[in-house]
Amino acid sequence: MKGLDYAPTSDPLADIDGLTRDIPEFKKLGINTIRLYSSTAGFNHTEGLSMLNTAGIYVVIDVTDAQYSIVSDKPTWNLNLFRNVTAKLSPFLMAPNLLAFIAGNEVINNVNQTLAAPFVKAAIRDVKAFIKAQGYDFPVGYAGTDGQKYTFQLQNYLNCGSDDTSVDFYGLNTYRWCGDVTYETSGYPTLTEEYHNYSRPFVFTEYGCNSVLPREFTEVAAIYGNPELTSWLSGGFVYQYHNDTNNYGLVKIDSNTAVTEFQDFSYLAEQLNNANPTGAKQSDPITVQPYLYNCPPTDPDNFLASSAALPPSPNENSCSCMYNSLQCVIDISSSTPASIAAAADFACSHGAACDDVNTNSASGVYGTWSACDDIQRASYILNSYYQNNRRQVSACNFPDASTNQNNGKVVTATTTISSCNADAAASTTTSSTVTTSTTSTYTTSTFTTSTVTTPTTSGNPATTTSVSGSENQVSAASGVSYLFSAFIFAVIMVL
């Protein structure tokens, strides 16, 4: 891939004026792929995708965004996120120039944040399952930070246990090649030593150090022409197209119709247009044998998460069933995220069954209803407190002193929770080796969205898979996704 990171607006595919202005610049640069960090569910992207397709440009799309993403220090994976992700990616599936999806970007940036790794892996699992359920097979990967001591455990973890729960490619955001250096002095030999045997396609999802300006992009010749790199690297994405406060831009956007090209732009265009990677031909046999790594053990110095289990898959049907079995629920007409969290905290500290909606990635224990949405989980907690207090109406009020309104309301259940357990169990990934229980509490940090929404009462359940914590290397049973991504990445290299 001769790629470019492209994010001049929050949804550049919907900005037709911007694409009309920028596509000629893309062609000057000689790129064949752009990476889109954000897009908006519900916006029309058909025209933008068609314009890029006509120009011969593929797209790689990040499925999360600033509002709906796995938060590094307070991770969760639930229906709030899954609904937005699937609503966003669904319209892209029919695009002829869609290349791949990225399920997370630099979610994990220090050892403590490795506790978020199971949530990233769960997101990869569920995005892959959703795509497959729609009848498509697009690679799903992750873009990670370079130079961290936990990197190897994370990479292996994201490619262990089951092909259904593993990345189809791994992306690295790397800025090692700075100024007038050579391959030998750049730090790239270390990357080759570390990653040349990685069992999935590998790409630089960001590159282009700006500590020396203008950037001459001499690394391009190495990325696409040095056998030490091309033997394991499928190209990369230059960061980034437009200039902002971080000073990585190739152009300054002057208006809806005009840009000013920096000297960096000219250097990159020269380098990319002179790069002629050999890649692979469609007729070439695929000889790579995919395999999965051992799931890493918990390591207090490098990897804090347990590999024993994954968070459950968000399941509309089972979560709606659970919600409909409750007799005390959140009154969304009089509540805010902060007041809901306060009510849930109170209930948890007074005996409510909060473990059922909590997660603990350090021990690998995930509550049965932990993948339900914010309102469903909070309602479950309030209902538990209400039941524990003999269903007194006052035990469901949870008044908010700041508004003099109640957070809870008594309702009539329309089903029983026992009828929901089968669905829930089917969507929960567990391991028989886990015998510990979580003691974490339901806190304000659990709420990750800025709005309160009514729980969905119908919808298609996500396809679910399980992950094994085996210590033995596992051969992929089919390797379909891996082989597809390995082939398509190699073909893009020569376009």
Strand partners, 6: 36
As given in the structure block, the two tokens for residue 447 are 């709420």
DSSP E strand boundaries for 54-164: 58-62, 98-105, 140-145
Q: In whole angstroms, what is the distance from residue 94 CA to residue 15 CA? A: 20
Q: In whole angstroms, what is the distance from residue 364 CA to residue 342 CA? A: 26
Closest CA relative to residue 223, chosen from 234, 209, 212, 214: 234
Catalytic residue among 106, 194, 261, 270: 106
- The DSSP result for 167-229, as a single string, is -SEEEEE-----SS--HHHHSHHHHHHHHTT-SS-EEEEEE---SSSS---THHHHHHH-HHH
Residue 219: active-site member = no
Residue 206: active-site member = yes
Closest CA relative to residue 9, chosen from 440, 1, 17: 17
Strand partners, 27: none
As given in the structure block, the two tokens for residue 294 are 């051992």
Cα distances (Å, whole numbers) of residue 345 to 55, 349, 380, 450: 54, 6, 12, 18
Closest CA relative to residue 241, chosen from 29, 14, 476: 29
Q: In whole angstroms, what is the distance from residue 127 CA to residue 70 CA? A: 14
Closest CA relative to residue 322, chosen from 427, 450, 465: 427
Catalytic residue among 47, 194, 206, 216: 206
| Residues with catalytic function | 106, 206
